[in-house]
Amino acid sequence: MTTKQKKLIDRTPQFNLFLQEHDCPEKPEATIAFTGAERRFVAPNPEDITVGNVLLKQYLEQAGQRTPKIVADMLDQQNWSAFEERYASSGRPP
């Protein structure tokens, strides 16, 4: 017998195929603005990431995982300008 506490997490693999269109979550259209040779770094919205049917944020909360949020917040607070300046203006964007 185990005494380890279990946490139930929704791991539904996909949305119901028979959902009506108005029941589906909305996704904003991605727009990419071309600014010539200027280097740009895309910072996608982490709120759009899902694990199965569950938003990543909710999934991590249900699993009791706080470390990814702490690390993401710490990285968002950093000044990355010196790092970004070292990229060549030509070639394939990252």
Domain ranges of the chain: 49-94
- Give this prediction's pTM: 0.52
- Span 31-83, pLDDT tens digits: 555 455 566 677 778 888 888 888 999 999 999 999 999 999 999 899 988 87
Do 54 and 61 meet the contact criterion of CB atoms below 8 Å apart? no
pLDDT of res. 74: 94
